[in-house]
Amino acid sequence: MSTEKAAGKAEEIKGKVEKEVGKVTGRESLVARGIAEEAKGKAKQAAGTAKEKVHEATSTAKRQANRS
């Protein structure tokens, strides 16, 4: 797992915790902040996955070019 994906997962988990604490305490602002944090974490994970895919594709293309 890349650093970016790990950071995204941590942020997502933090958001889930904030959201649940907000629900339990009745603090809507904390619920909203948790939802936003969760979404931000998921976006970071998606960006990390995309980066990995691009890296894999370029590595494969370079290997194939070197074989020719």
The DSSP symbol for 26 reads T
Cα–Cα dist 8/35, whole Å: 14
Phi, psi of 26, deg, nearest 5? 75, 20
Domain with 30 in it? 3-67
- Rounded to the nearest 10°, the torsion over CA 50, 34, 9, 44 is 20
- The answer for residues whose C-beta is within 8 angstroms of residue 16's C-beta and 6 or more apart is 34, 38
Contact 11, 40 (CB under 8 A): yes
**Per residue of the chain (68 residues), what is the pLDDT tens digit?**
789 999 999 999 999 999 999 999 999 999 999 999 999 999 999 999 999 999 999 988 888 888 86
Domain total for the chain?
A: 1
